[in-house]
Every structure is written in structure tokens, then in C-alpha cells.
Chain A
Amino acid sequence: GQSLEQPSEVTAVEGAIVQINCTYQTSGFYGLSWYQQHDGGAPTFLSYNALDGLEETGRFSSFLSRSDSYGYLLLQELQMKDSASYFCVRNMLTFGGGTRLMVKP
């Protein structure tokens, strides 16, 4: 969507750390979500940030800075199964274009 910007593709090595950034349109903003979607599969919820700061869920963390209209998803200890598309979502309903993450051995 035009109100969200995220990179189209990111490549990383197994075991590494990768950060997927997302900038969003500020007007009327109240929260940023992240979803994962494997090829041919349905999106699955990863995290949600309404307040500034870091939310950690296992190997995945999500960060929000409302003053910068910016958030990111951090994936640690990358595994091959993390190869998927990752979507930031503004206000629960507006999906970004997605970032395709390729994890290489």
C-alpha cells in the first residue's frame, strides 16, 4: 500500500540476524503489526506494536518509533524455514507490499 514502505527483498545467511524496516504514513496511525507468509500459504500473525519500544517473541522482535513513523522486524538466529514474505500492517488492515526474505545456507 502507498501508506507503507518496506524493502522488496532481503537476503541473509543461516544463523545471522536480519532487520526488515517499515515506514508508514503518520496520519491516524495507532498500531503496526507484522505477518509472515510462506509461498502458497496464509499469512500468520507475528507481533503488534502500539507504543514505542521493542516487543520480543522468541527469535522475533518488533520495534516501533512513533516519532519517526518507523518500525522494524528483527529476526535472530535465522533458519532456512524463515524464508518467507514479511508484511508490515498499518492499523491492522493496511498491508505493505511485503519483504521477501531469502535465507541461504
Chain B
Amino acid sequence: DSGVTQTPKHLITATGQRVTLRCSPRSGDLSVYWYQQSLDQGLQFLIQYYNGEERAKGNILERFSAQQFPDLHSELNLSSLELGDSALYFCASSVDSSNEQFFGPGTRLTVL
């Protein structure tokens, strides 16, 4: 158990809908990262927050947005969902922008 929690574990929704994925980092970690992993693919970095502020941005679509709240939990919002958005979404956290990230169990999103 990495100490990072993600909810929900599974999510099934329809095209065009909007969903919110939630992540709670390890106690004391200030950085939160979001990744997308499609079937049998590597992890695609989406976005990083550090202590409430956006720190780095990857290949995140304009339909996707994220934020980190004062209690350091983070949410990833996915809107106008498409079939291709079906994937495993991982959240990770680290103390700062250190090289070791601790990953949560992931949220499996299925868009029908």
C-alpha cells in the first residue's frame, strides 16, 4: 500500500458525459501527478500540482482539467468524454518534485 488513495476504483459512463476522479496523496506529500494508461500502453503524464499550484503540464487535452485543494487532495475532471478516453488513470504523489513517486491503485474509466 503506497498510501495514495484514489476514488472511485471503477467508473463506467457514456460518451459526452463528465466525470471527476479524486486522489488523496500520502501524508506530507506536496506534489500530485496524474497519468493516463491506455490498454497495454505506457503511462502518459498529464499534469503535476505542487502545494496547490500547477507545476508541470504534459499531454493533457483541453477537455481535461485538474486542481489541487488546500488539503492537498486533487481532482481530475474529464469532460465531453470519448470512447478513446477509456483508460486507467493513476495519481501519484511525492514529497516535492523528487524522483520517487508513489502511485495510487488507479481509477479504471470505461466510456461506452
Interface residues of A (CB under 8 A from B): 1, 31, 33, 41-45, 48, 50, 87, 92-98
Do A45 and B100 touch across chains, with their CB atoms under 8 A apart?
yes
Do A95 and B100 touch across chains, with their CB atoms under 8 A apart?
no
Residues of the B chain whose Cβ atoms lie less than 8 Å from the Cβ of A44: 2, 103
Residues of the B chain whose Cβ atoms lie less than 8 Å from the Cβ of A94: 45
Interface core residue of A31, A41, A43 (most chain B CB under 10 Å): A43
- Is residue B97 within 8 Å, beta carbon to beta carbon, of the partner chain? yes
Of B16-24, B36-44, B60-68, B69-77, the segment with at least 4 beta carbons within 8 Å of chain A is B36-44
Show 9 A/B contacts (Cβ-Cβ < 8 Å), sorted by A.
A1-B44, A31-B99, A41-B105, A42-B2, A42-B103, A43-B103, A50-B99, A87-B43, A98-B41
Q: Which of B41, B90, B97, B99 contacts A43 (CB 8 A)?
A: B90
State in angstroms the CA–CA spacing of A43 and B93 once bound together.
12
Residues of the B chain whose Cβ atoms lie less than 8 Å from the Cβ of A31: 99
As a 0/1 sequence over residues 93 to 104 of chain B, the CB contacts with chain A under 8 angstroms (1 = contact) are 000010111111
**What 8 A-B pairs come out closest when comparing CB atoms?**
A42-B103, A48-B99, A95-B43, A93-B45, A95-B42, A97-B42, A45-B100, A43-B103
A46 to chain B, nearest CB (A): 10
Do B42 and A98 touch across chains, with their CB atoms under 8 A apart?
yes
As a 0/1 sequence over residues 20 to 55 of chain B, the CB contacts with chain A under 8 angstroms (1 = contact) are 000000000000010100000111110010000000
Do A93 and B48 touch across chains, with their CB atoms under 8 A apart?
yes
- Is residue B56 within 8 Å, beta carbon to beta carbon, of the partner chain? yes
Residue of B nearest to A94 (CB): B45
- Is residue B8 within 8 Å, beta carbon to beta carbon, of the partner chain? no
State in angstroms the CA–CA spacing of A96 and B45 once bound together.
11
Residues of the B chain whose Cβ atoms lie less than 8 Å from the Cβ of A45: 99-102
State in angstroms the CA–CA spacing of A87 and B37 once bound together.
12
